[in-house]
Each structure stands twice: as C-alpha cells, then as structure tokens.
Structure 1
Amino acid sequence: MSGCPFADFTNMIDPDTYANGMPYDELARIRASGPIHWMEDPTRGVPYWLVTGRNEIDFISKHPKEFSSQERTALADEYAQDDIDAIHSNMTINMDPPRQMKSRKVVRPSFTPAAVNSYADRFRDLAREIVDKVASRGECEFVEEVAAELPLLAILELCGIPAEDRKDFFQWTNAMIFNQDSEMSADKSVAEDASFKVIEYAMKLAAEHAENPKDNIIGALLDGNGKDPGLDMDEFVWFFLMLISAGNESTRTVTSHAMRLLMDNPDQLQYLVDNPDKIPNACEEVLRYNTAFILMRRTAMEDMEVGGQQIKKGDKIIMHYHTVNHDESVFGEDAMKFDVKRAERMPDLYNQHRAFGIGQHFCLGSHLARLELVVMMEEIIPRIRNPKLMEELEYTRSDLVNGIKRMYITFDPEVKDKAQSAA
C-alpha cells in the first residue's frame, strides 16, 4: 500500500458518483484536504491516487515517460492485458510519445487556428439552421435537437461524410463513449459493435479516397501533410474512431451545460443578451465550470514524490480535471460560482483552466471546439429567449464524460415579422 486511504471520501471513479450530476461540494471537500489523495475503489479493487491540484496535474501530464498513458490506458477502468494489446493500445489517447505524435503531426494542420477559422462561416450557417428548426416551437429536447447537431455535422462534414449518416454516428458514439450507462449502451457487446461499425465506415472512406482523393481530414490522415507521411490502414481506422467520438461528444456536452447554467442564472443570460460581444468570454467560463471530460488516468513508471506524497512504480493515478478547474488558489474564492464575467477580469482564463488538458495529450481539436461552442451560443442566446426546464434533466452515468442525457426546455416561440418571412 502506498499510503493511508481517505476512506471517508466518495469514490471519484465510480460512474454512479456522477449519475445525478457533478458532486461539487464533495469535490470541494476533497480539494480542501490537499492536492493528491490515496483512494480506495471497491468497484474495481484497485486503489488510486486522486490528483486535485493543478500544479500536480500539470507536472504529471508533462512527464509521459514517468507517468504513462499506454501502460494501463488513460481510462479509469481495469482491462485485461489482451484487451489493452488488441484494442486500447491502438487509440491515440492511450499512447505515449513518440508513437502518440505520429497521427497528431499528420492531422495538426487541419486544426490550426487559421484552418479552423476558415470553417466559421459554414458553421454559423449550420448553427442558424439548427436553431431555425426549434425556434418557432417554443420547446425542444435540447441535447439531441440542438447541442448535438453542430459538433456532429461539423466533424462529419470535415471528413466528407454525408449529413444523412449523422443519426448512425450519433448512436454509435453514444454507445462507445457512454458504455457505463445501460440505457445508452446495454452491455459491452453493444459498445464493441458500435466501434466495429465506425471502423467499417472508416475503411469505406479509405477505399473511396483511393478511388477519388479528397482534400480533407481523411485525405490528410491517409496521404500525409507534405511533411509527415500518412497513416497505415490500422492506424487510420483507430484514429478515425477516436476523432469522431471525441469530436462529437465533448462539444455537445459543453453546449448542453452552457444552456443549463444560463437557465440557472437568468441574470447572466440577460447580460449576454444585452452584450452579445461577451459571449466568447462566457464560453471560456462554461468550459472551465463544466469541463466535458471528467478525468484521465496515468500509471507511474517509477517511484517519485508528487504533491508531498510518495508515489510508487505501478501506482494508478487519476487526474480530475473538473475539480482542478474549481481550484480556489487559481480562480479565486468564488471559483465554485459560475460567472460569465470571469474572463473580463481574468483575461488569461483560457490559459488557466484545464478543460482541454495540458502537455502531450492537450486536445488537438481545442480551436474547433471553441468555435463550435461560440457560434452555437451566439445563435442560441438571442433567439431562445426565457428558457426554462420542462422537467428534471437526466445526466449520463459516466466517469469519463460529464454528459447530459436529456434536457427538455420551453422558451418564448420566435415570431418572425413579415419582412423576415418574405426574405
């Protein structure tokens, strides 16, 4: 045993812990006790270090040789070595440098700020069309009808996938990402079947590209970027699976929470209605306050002291991004309060939170996610007025993604005047 476990604290890698939303108060209690804690996990039988300090998370994230993603994967679950070797080791998220860098180098030019900004007009058109479909009704199920649409349409369009296939990808990615929620993925076989369907689709895209090459993300992955060689077929299908899953679920989750938080704080929503130029700042606060990915795992590859604790080789380490983004020592005494004006008094907020991680696994699609969130909120805030929950919202059961499963809302139906209708 590496230390005395904090037996009176909630197990932060039990999916049930998040089934009714983020346990803010419990996380604050843990955070107040120190930056790193030795915790028991009765559900899996493997204790772990829970890291809640930002400096400690940054240190671990920036030292992949000492704290490995590939040794036991970057996920909290325990997997048989055969499953790690055959499946999980193929995912970029579960790789360490230098292997991890190959696919990132190839596709990075497609996700630079300049490249992402070139998508802005198209994304704004899509956002407008999405809100158009619900605005006059005065009610909707916000997650699937609004929040999920743009990130899914955007990543599919960037990959040259027709929009009519989005429902399939919506269901497949739900089954894969939310495999701990029995409603979204009945058992392991459902998640595996969804993964195989995405891989089959990737192989079809590769075959189509060989016949009729495309200048898009698929082309970049397969052909290289002029400087770095492309991926082989095995590398390509696994990277595609991760790209589609992460590119869809994370922004959908943050957009859903943005609406939830603004409904909970109608004065802040009105501030953004009156000051639409402040919406990008508000989006940074949403990213901080309700980070999409809850936590990630590392495995200690040698004995080392971190945060005043002696970590042993082989120890399981859990970096909790959600709680580090509420760290009072970084964000002030009101860190647990949602405040759309925070970025106005903290201009480097975007650089202080860890919504996209840090280090070698910093989110490749961070610019894309920010653009999608901003254009959606710039369309939603002026048009979906006086939103309110129709019934209690439902969260996903997951220790990976801080998702909302369903959120039925009402709002003032949008009425277009005759001039707008004629146009």
Structure 2
Amino acid sequence: MSQCPFANLLNPDTYAQGMPYKSLKDIRQHGPVVKIEDPLTDVPYWAVVGQQELDFVSKNPALFSSAKRTAFPMEIPQDEVDFIHCHTIINMDPPRHQKVRRIVREAFTPKRVNSYEPAFRAHAKQIIDRIVLRGECEFVEEVAAELPLIAILELLGVPLEDRNQFFEWTNTMMFADDPDMATSIEDGQIAAGECINYALALAAQHRQQPMNNITGALLDGNVDGEPITEEDFAWMFILILVGGNESTRTVISQGMRLLMEHPDQLEFLVQNPDKIVDAIDEILRYNTAFIQMRRTATEDIELGGQQLRAGDKVILHYHAVNHSEAVFGEDAMRFDVRRSERMPKLGQQLRSFGIGQHFCIGSHLARLELQVMFEEIITRLRNPSLQGEIAYIRSYFVNGIKNMRIRFDT
C-alpha cells in the first residue's frame, strides 16, 4: 500500500493535545470510507467517517462482526479474544448479544431511569456545594467525575466508601496508553483483576441477601434457560462500570471546556436555563465520549466506494461522523448550543451512543446525569474560566480530559 497521507487514528499521540478536528475533516473530504495504515501494529484499517456507511456497518452484524476481533479498536491477542473478551456484551454478535442485553435492559428503561432523578439532583447539589464558595477547583475529579461514579456504583450495589478505589481502578484500566494515568498495560490488567474479585464478592453477597439493582438483574437472569456464569457477570460488571462512569465524566468535562471557550453561549444558557436540555445534544455531538469502535468484515463487500475483504479491520469513528458537513451543515465544526433550533431532530442524528444493536443501553441514564449536572453547574458557577492549561488523555478510545483547573465567581 502506498504511503498514507492521513493521520493514524489509532495512534494515541494523535489525540494527546485534544481532538484533531482538522485531520478528521481532511479524511471526511476524501470520502466516507478511507484506508489508513497503522505502523504501530502493521494492521491497516478502513476508517468509516460517513454517517450512512457507519449506520450500515452498525446495523449489519452478520457482515461486520463485533465478536471476531472484539469491538475495541486496539489489537488484542486472539487467545484473549476467545477466552476473556468474549464474555463482554460489547463483543457479542447475534443471537447471544440480544439474549444477554435483555437481562439488563429493564434497569435502563426511561421510566426506571427517570425515577433516579431526585437522588441524582441531590448528589449534584452536594457536589457543587463542596466547591462553590472556594471560587476554584480541579473540575474533572471534583465535579465531572463525581455523579457518574456515584450513580453507577449505586446501581451496581457498591458502597460509596469504595468510590475512590473504583475511580483509581477505572482510570488505570481505561488509560493505560497515558503515562500520567497508568504505568503499564500490566497495571490495567491488575486493576481489572481487582474489579473482578470485587464483582465476585458482590455475587456471593447477592446469594445471601438478594439485591434489586443491575447486579441482581444480571445474576438472576438467564440465557437459553441457563444462568449467566460468574465469569460473564464479572466482565459485564466491569463494562457497565467503565461505560457508565468514564463516558459521562468525559462529556461533562468537555462540555464545560466548550462553554468556557464560548462565554456568549454560556451566558445564553444562564439566561435561558430551560434550553440546557437542548444544549446537551450539541455537547454530545461536539465531543463524543467514545471516539471509535471496531468491527471485522466477515465477507468481501463494497462500502462507500471501497472494496473491503473478509477479515479487514473496520473502524467506526463516531467523532468524525458527528462533525459531518453532509449531516450537520457547513458549520458542523462550530459549537452552537442553539443548533437544535435549526435542527429539531438533532438528537436523532447523533452517533454519540452508536446505533443499531449495540446502541448504548445507558443513554437515558447518561442524559439524565448530564442534565442535572449542567443545570447545577450553569446556574451556580458564574463566569467560569480556565486556570492554566488543559491536560488531555492520551487515548484514541476515550476522548477524555485528565485535569482542568477552573476559577469562577462566588
């Protein structure tokens, strides 16, 4: 293959200074599906940056598998795929995927999620209460990370006194590519092992004292008449923990960054707090939490004018698709909290939660957390501004911020 003119979207350095907006635009202008080399792994891949093509891949799991090489964009040894990652719902294809998903679906219905609102609102007020009189804070750990972690731990049946331990474990598992977050891949594996041991202890507790939460739903559910194994439960526990925690923390952090960079738009929301819910769609669009996922082509197929072969690596770049000029207009790269006034169906055009069978089961939960947090932040932290440089996560998987000090009027 000839020298690829595009940035390697699977190099963590590509994202070390924040999202490479211009590089993604260059790729979009080249076509909806672009072949890119990866000299770090010597495994080339097809980057899907067109919405129509991404939707086709996502809705046709028989043609584009999550199970063959996992849905994670990194290269994983085949024995780990076959014996470890196969237990995680994100790496399943039909029909097993739907059967396992059905077990936890009831815990995330809109009606059930809406019942959490009073508790989430109380937590959000307490989070802001702790910092509001200081006039400054480290926003990521002190504000953005708090409610998502509290919420998902409560739903999993984990006591709040273990919150800090889980904060450390999830950071270590997710950000092994960033030397400031973890020292090695081995540390990430150790953290995963600690989480598994904790999950198994919760399973034993449930057998003695049944829990009415996500943990209980998983352990009491069955697939084809058989209860899920403890190993399946443990890996599902980790996925729900990380997915429900890191993603919402990232969107809150990135959303605060965007509002501080656009003080006129922030002031609009201060004056019109009823518009915060609509603004959340734009925050979700502009800085998608999970940057990209993987599929593996199962047969030769044409996609977006390109000829893919069976076994080819396919990367679904949600962030690039969420900035598509073809979908969001010529100002797609501009942040605009009033975009939904021009695009009433903005929320339906987002791919921040994916689409198809793997659409994020916790999307309603994430939206509720975002709503209550931004309603507290925007109305109580007045005239916020950056205090020093933002430190971004060095990751091509999670679009995170690891440190962002801010000041505000009290």
Tell me the TM-score normalized by structure 1.
0.95
Deviation of residue 232 (structure 1)? 2.3
Deviation of residue 86 (structure 1)? 2.3
Which of 301, 305, 324 lines up with 2:302 in the alignment? 305
The residue aligned with 1:421 is none
Q: In angstroms, what is the RMSD of aligned CA positions?
A: 1.4
The residue aligned with 1:370 is 367
Deviation of residue 95 (structure 1)? 1.3
Which of 55, 58, 62 lines up with 1:61 in the alignment? 58
- 1:116 aligned to 2:110? no
SS in 1 for 2:161: helix
Aligned positions of 1:64-213 closer than 5 A:
64-213=61-210
CA distance in 2, matches of 1:293, 1:8: 24
Which of 235, 242, 251 lines up with 1:238 in the alignment? 235
Aligned positions of 1:349-368 closer than 5 A:
349-368=346-365
Amino acid at match of 2:13: D
CA distance in 1, matches of 2:367, 2:225: 27
Deviation of residue 103 (structure 1)? 2.4
Deviation of residue 231 (structure 1)? 2.4
- 1:394 aligned to 2:391? yes
Amino acid at match of 2:28: R
SS in 2 for 1:319: strand
Instruction: Give yes or no for contact 1:305–1:311 (8 Å, CA) kept in 2.
Output: yes
The residue aligned with 1:10 is 7
Amino acid at match of 2:207: A
Instruction: Give yes or no for contact 1:262–1:268 (8 Å, CA) kept in 2.
Output: yes
The residue aligned with 2:339 is 342
Deviation of residue 225 (structure 1)? 8.8
CA distance in 2, matches of 1:350, 1:106: 26
Residues 92-111 of structure 1 show CA distances to partners (whole Å, capped at 9, x for unaligned) of 11111112223210110110
| Compared CA separation, residues 44 and 224, structure 1 to 2 (3 A) | same
Deviation of residue 89 (structure 1)? 1.7
CA distance in 2, matches of 1:282, 1:63: 31
Which of 284, 289, 293 lines up with 1:292 in the alignment? 289
| Compared CA separation, residues 227 and 11, structure 1 to 2 (3 A) | closer
| Compared CA separation, residues 5 and 259, structure 1 to 2 (3 A) | farther
Deviation of residue 271 (structure 1)? 0.2
Amino acid at match of 1:240: F
CA distance in 1, matches of 2:227, 2:131: 42
Which of 205, 209, 220 lines up with 1:223 in the alignment? 220
Tell me the TM-score normalized by structure 2.
0.98
Residues 176-227 of structure 1 show CA distances to partners (whole Å, capped at 9, x for unaligned) of 1112112212111100010011111111111111111111111111112999
CA distance in 1, matches of 2:201, 2:260: 43
* Residue range with higher mean Cα deviation, 73-82 or 280-289: 73-82
The residue aligned with 1:261 is 258
CA distance in 1, matches of 2:158, 2:73: 32
| Compared CA separation, residues 228 and 411, structure 1 to 2 (3 A) | farther
The residue aligned with 2:44 is 47
Instruction: Give yes or no for contact 2:99–2:223 (8 Å, CA) kept in 1.
Output: no
Aligned residues: 410
CA distance in 2, matches of 1:140, 1:227: 50
Instruction: Give yes or no for contact 1:110–1:217 (8 Å, CA) kept in 2.
Output: yes
CA distance in 2, matches of 1:284, 1:132: 26
* Gaps in structure 1 of 5+ consecutive residues: 414-423
Instruction: Give yes or no for contact 1:106–1:229 (8 Å, CA) kept in 2.
Output: no
| Compared CA separation, residues 8 and 126, structure 1 to 2 (3 A) | same
CA distance in 2, matches of 1:209, 1:319: 38
CA distance in 1, matches of 2:19, 2:2: 22
SS in 1 for 2:96: coil
Deviation of residue 229 (structure 1)? 6.5
* Residue range with higher mean Cα deviation, 82-91 or 53-62: 82-91
**4+ aligned runs moved over 2 Å, structure 1:** 224-232
Deviation of residue 246 (structure 1)? 0.7
Residues 261-318 of structure 1 show CA distances to partners (whole Å, capped at 9, x for unaligned) of 0000000000000000000000010000000000011111100000011101111111
| Compared CA separation, residues 112 and 229, structure 1 to 2 (3 A) | farther
Amino acid at match of 1:184: M
CA distance in 1, matches of 2:300, 2:154: 46
Percent identity, aligned pairs only?
58
SS in 2 for 1:37: strand
Deviation of residue 76 (structure 1)? 1.9
Residues 224-271 of structure 1 show CA distances to partners (whole Å, capped at 9, x for unaligned) of 299987522121111001000111000000000010000000000000
CA distance in 2, matches of 1:230, 1:362: 24
| Compared CA separation, residues 148 and 330, structure 1 to 2 (3 A) | same
CA distance in 2, matches of 1:405, 1:287: 18
Amino acid at match of 1:207: A
CA distance in 2, matches of 1:275, 1:298: 42
CA distance in 1, matches of 2:105, 2:250: 23
Instruction: Give yes or no for contact 2:222–2:228 (8 Å, CA) kept in 1.
Output: no
* Residue range with higher mean Cα deviation, 154-163 or 271-280: 154-163
Deviation of residue 5 (structure 1)? 5.2
